Amino acid sequence: MLDIDNIRSEYPILKREIFGKPLVYLDSAATSQTPRCVVDKIVEMYTTMKANVHRGVHELSQEATEMQERAREKVRAYINAASTEEIIFTRGTTEAINLVASSYGDSFCNGDEIILTVMEHHSDIVPWQLLQQHKRIRLRVVPIDEKGELRQDMYEEMFTENTRMVAICHVSNVLGTVNPVKDMIEVAHRHGVPVLIDGAQSMPHMKVDVQELDADFFAFSAHKMYGPTGVGVLYGKKRLLETMPPYQGGGEMIGNVSFEKTTFSGLPYKFEAGTPDFVGIAAFAEALDYIERIGIGRIEEHEHNLLLRATAGLQSIPGMRIFGNAQNKSGVISFLVGNIHHYDMGMLLDKMGVAVRTGHHCAEPLMSALGIEGTVRASFGVYNTEEEIDTFVAAVERAAQMLG
């Protein structure tokens, strides 16, 4: 079992009170809280070694560069990528997917098809739609069944000779469904089609091995996994990244520049134009160390217990509708009670100190498919306790009585 008291002591924010009530933070799927060791790293960098990376001969610059490249190696080992050349630092999942859509998508032609799923976050929909402004590309969308699992039979039938890409989330940020991405990648590869996995919601909660999955691209954000804001990662297979044109131009990504001809750096720098958030990147490596010290398996087990407890508690409330009952489900629970508006429920829970997310969760197409406008969503992190789940369930029950 985890020593939750000890874990919580690393998060000063969890001692806050909201409207005179102890904060119950159940919005980790939007962003997780950040432990002191990660914040300390940021402070240490700013106070003792801030200098631009790859630019200077001076000692400070070399230290900063070394820190960033150590972080790259840390990320590589963490997801078991074959090489640090395959680890590109971005601002987050969104930028990572935009990079692939823009750069890899550059080679797509009119008539090409991309397979997405109905449970994608807007950041795995809109970048592909932007491509449609220049090319007549067709998006095909895998639907879900009543449990909130992807229709694998329909997925397999969607491939045609024009399919160029599959882009799917590993875990739904609304339904909590853990998609069988390894199998789905295998299906795509049988058709010779590469797969991008949006790992924003899987990386904080489970072990990910990109080679074992055989993912072609894998995107994730540091801020959802106990790390800082403004840092993310695109993993890409070297073979693919090498064929792709730069995404943005600027410093760092070039070989030589003249007004006649500019050459580009090799991987991964070709895709890292401008000064990166090297402070955030170093702090992200600290966050990965933090997760490893606790053990991702133990975090997963803890969050699963919280999910079971919350589900059982909520199900006992009259009029409760839970969206997403997948066999394999991560620590996210979306619901509505009777005809109560999600926003009203969220407001009342907030008054009781319980922080949940309400609305469409950047997944409007999924809301449409479910025939609703939004849900209330509670999501869990390593620092949440069983007592907090009980407080949450009691608060939902009380709010339902007040609003019902």
Ligand X SMILES: *Cc1c(COP(=O)(O)O)cnc(C)c1O
Binding footprint of ligand X, residue count (CB under 6 A): 13
Q: Specify the DSSP class assigned to residue 322.
A: E
Which residues contact residue 335 at a Cβ distance below 8 angstroms, ignoring those fewer than 6 apart? 314, 320, 321, 322, 323, 375, 376, 377, 396
In angstroms, the CA 136 to CA 109 distance is 7
179, 168 contact by CB (below 8 A): yes
Q: Are 317 and 340 in contact (CB under 8 A)?
A: no
Binding piece for ligand X, criterion CB under 6 A, among 14-22, 118-126, 160-168, 327-335: 118-126
Quick one: 131 or 200, whose CB is closer to ligand X? 200
Separation of alpha carbons 90 and 280, rounded Å: 11
Choosing from 37, 109, 169, 362, the catalytic residue is 362
- In DSSP terms, 332 is beta-bridged to 379
Closer Cβ to ligand X, 31 or 162, answer by number: 31
Residue with Cβ nearer ligand X (356 or 395):
356
| β-pairing verdict for 217-221 and 232-236 | antiparallel
Pick the stretch among 92-100, 136-144, 253-261, 336-344 that binds ligand X (CB under 6 A). 92-100
362 is catalytic: yes
Comparing CB distances to ligand X, the nearer of 92 and 346 is 92
Compute the distance between CA of residue 78 and CA of residue 207 in angstroms, rounded to an integer: 9
> Site residues for ligand X, window 162-221 (CB under 6 A)?
169, 173, 198, 200-201, 221
161: which residues sit within 8 A by CB, 6+ positions away? none
Cβ burial, residue 98 (10 Å; 0-12/13-18/19+): buried
CA distance 332 to 37: 26
Among 92, 148, 204, 331, binds ligand X (CB under 6 A): 92
Minimum CB–partner distance for residue 171 and ligand X (Å): 7
Residue closer to ligand X by CB (options 103, 221) is 221
Q: Taking the complex as a whole, how short is the minimal distance between the CB of residue 30 and ligand X, in angstroms? A: 7
Question: By CB under 6 A, what part of segment 217-256 binds ligand X?
Answer: 221, 223
Looking at the Cβ atoms of 159 and 323, the one nearer to ligand X is: 323
User: Taking the complex as a whole, how short is the minimal distance between the CB of residue 175 and ligand X, in angstroms?
Assistant: 11
Among 34, 123, 163, 311, binds ligand X (CB under 6 A): 123
Angle at 311 between CA 308 and CA 314, to 5 degrees: 145
CB of 26 to ligand X, least distance (A): 15
Q: Does residue 121 touch ligand X according to CB under 6 A?
A: yes
With CB under 6 A as the contact rule, the residue among 94, 334, 358, 391 that binds ligand X is 94
In whole angstroms, the minimum distance from the beta carbon of 95 to ligand X comes to: 7
Distance in angstroms (rounded) separating the CA atoms of residues 342 and 345: 5
Site string for ligand X, 52-91 (x = CB under 6 A): ----------------------------------------
Q: List all residues 6 or more positions away from 265 whose beta carbon is below 8 Å from its beta carbon.
A: 252, 253, 254, 255
**Nearest to ligand X of 178, 200 (CB atom):** 200
Contacts of 181 (CB under 8 A, 6+ apart): 168, 170, 195, 197, 213, 215
334 near ligand X, judged by CB under 6 A: no
Quote the least distance from Cβ 199 to ligand X, whole Å: 8
Residue 67 vs 366, nearer CB to ligand X:
366
93 is a site residue for ligand X (CB under 6 A): yes
CB of 119 to ligand X, least distance (A): 9
In angstroms, the CA 377 to CA 265 distance is 43
Q: How far is the CB of 396 from ligand X (least distance, A)?
A: 23
CA dist 107 and 86 (Å) reads 20
Q: Please identify, among the stretches 42-50, 121-129, 178-186, 234-242, the one whose residues bind ligand X according to the rule CB under 6 A.
A: 121-129
CA nearest neighbour of 170 among 104, 91, 238, 225 = 225
Instruction: From 212, 232, 230, select the one nearest 221 (Cα to Cα).
Output: 232
Residues making contact with ligand X (CB under 6 A): 92-94, 121, 123-124, 169, 173, 198, 200-201, 221, 223
Residues acting as catalytic residues: 362
